[in-house]
């Protein structure tokens, strides 16, 4: 799947196994966590 990212401008690859459970985090912490993972 990672090979497809260059074919789509603005696309990013992420590993769903690394997505954090955000259900109990405050919104600012969720945003910070996502930003850190996207680089």
What gap in Å lies between CA 3 and CA 34, rounded to an integer? 22
What mean pLDDT do residues 9-15 have? 83
For the entire predicted model, the pTM comes to 0.35
Q: Kindly list the distances between the CA atom of residue 21 and the CA atoms of 9, 14, 32, 39, in Å, as whole numbers in the listed order.
A: 28, 15, 13, 18
- Closest by Cα among 5, 30, 6, 27 to 15: 5
Residue partners of 11: CB distance under 8 A and separation at least 6: 4, 5
pLDDT digits (tens, 9 = 90+) for 19-32: 666 667 677 877 88
């Amino acid at each position: 799947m990672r090979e497809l990212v260059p074919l789509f401008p603005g696309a990013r690859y992420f590993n769903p196994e690394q997505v954090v459970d955000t259900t109990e985090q405050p919104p600012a912490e969720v945003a910070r966590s996502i930003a850190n993972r996207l680089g």
